[in-house]
Amino acid sequence: MFEIKRERKLKVTKTEMLSSHFKRITFFSRDFFDFSENEKGAYLKLLFLKKEIGDKKLVRPYTIRNFRKKKLEIDIDFVIHQSSNGIATEWALKASPGDEIMVSGPGAKPDLKDDVDWIFFIGDMSSLPAISSNLEEIDTNKTGIIVIEIMSNEDKLKIRKPRNFQLHWVIKKKSSNHNELYDKVLSLKWLSGNPFVWVACEFDKMKKFRYYFHKEKKIKKEFTYISSYWKEGSNQEQHKKIKKIDNQQYTN
């Protein structure tokens, strides 16, 4: 039996700017031979070595946006911030064909409940690849609502979705700390029946959504996936620690 979750070396074969804030990088690896056909929407952990911390590797998880089994290729979409000094963003910004990187995984993608009437997707740009992958995989007869926060109109990427899904884009104001994403979600009229709620965004915003859906809307935890993908002002290592403590303290 193959050991799936192991380290693999990937080579960049193509890069494409999907918008001023999204860069798609295509990777090839012969080590993808033991991936299943259903890895789109799962995640890989990119591994970075930093001299200041010796041989310790910095881990950065990213969604597998597409997987082409016959070509042994995957696509990963990176959110690009020109002002960011994050190790993954800096690497992605400079990445070009021929570059190599080590990864581990894949990690499993969260399952969506089938026994619901509709699905509510909420996220920011960091979760757009995961939301898009989910929308391409679910039953075309499903109904739901999608709300995505982006940085500019140019970031409104083409999304393939079931025809009965409403799509709402929210433009984040650069000079404001206001939670436009949360306000938009609260302004929407719910569809009839019981939903499955899928939320992934910045940590503090995630906590507001978690309280809203679990405490105010009384959605049972098993009918939600609510997670933070990053935290404002923190690197991934700090965010991971904060997230762990928060998960231990939180009870539905």
* pLDDT tens readout for residues 25-59: 999 999 999 999 999 999 999 999 876 555 678 99
Q: Are 24 and 15 in contact (CB under 8 A)?
A: yes
Could you list the residue range(s) of the whole structural domain that residue 137 is in?
Answer: 118-249
Strand partners, 121: 146, 198
Q: Is residue 65 part of a domain?
A: yes
Whole-number percent of the chain with pLDDT over 70: 93
Three-state DSSP at 177 gives: coil
Q: Is residue 1 part of a domain?
A: no
pLDDT of residue 227: 96
pLDDT of residue 55: 64
Note whether 125 and 187 are same-domain residues. Answer: yes
For the residues 184-209, what does the mean pLDDT come to?
Answer: 97
Three-state DSSP at 96 gives: coil
For the residues 180-206, what does the mean pLDDT come to?
Answer: 97
pLDDT of residue 114: 84
C-alpha separations of 195 from 19, 146, 169 in Å = 32, 12, 20
Strand partners, 227: 200
pLDDT of residue 243: 94
pLDDT higher than threshold 50 for residue 2: no
Q: Which of the 8 DSSP states describes residue 160?
A: -
Q: Is residue 67 part of a domain?
A: yes
The CATH number that applies at residue 41 is 2.40.30.10
Q: What is the mean pLDDT of the chain?
A: 91
Residue at which a domain ends, from 87, 107, 127 = 107
Note whether 23 and 64 are same-domain residues. Answer: yes
116 Cβ partners below 8 Å, 6+ apart? 193, 194, 195, 196, 223
Note whether 46 and 129 are same-domain residues. Answer: no
Domain total of the chain: 2
Q: Are 58 and 47 in contact (CB under 8 A)?
A: yes
Q: Are 132 and 158 in contact (CB under 8 A)?
A: no
Q: What is the pTM of this model?
A: 0.92
Cis previous bond, 106, omega within 30: yes
Neighbouring CB atoms inside 10 A of 119's CB total 22
Three-state DSSP at 112 gives: coil
Instruction: Return the closest-CA partner of residue 92 out of 28, 26, 156.
Output: 26
pLDDT of residue 110: 85
pLDDT of residue 111: 86
Q: Name the percent of the chain in helix, strand, coil, to the closest 5.
A: 30, 35, 35
Instruction: Return the closest-CA partner of residue 41 out of 107, 88, 109, 98.
Output: 109
Q: How many helices (H) and strands (E) does the chain have?
A: 5, 12
Residue at which a domain ends, from 107, 141, 166 = 107
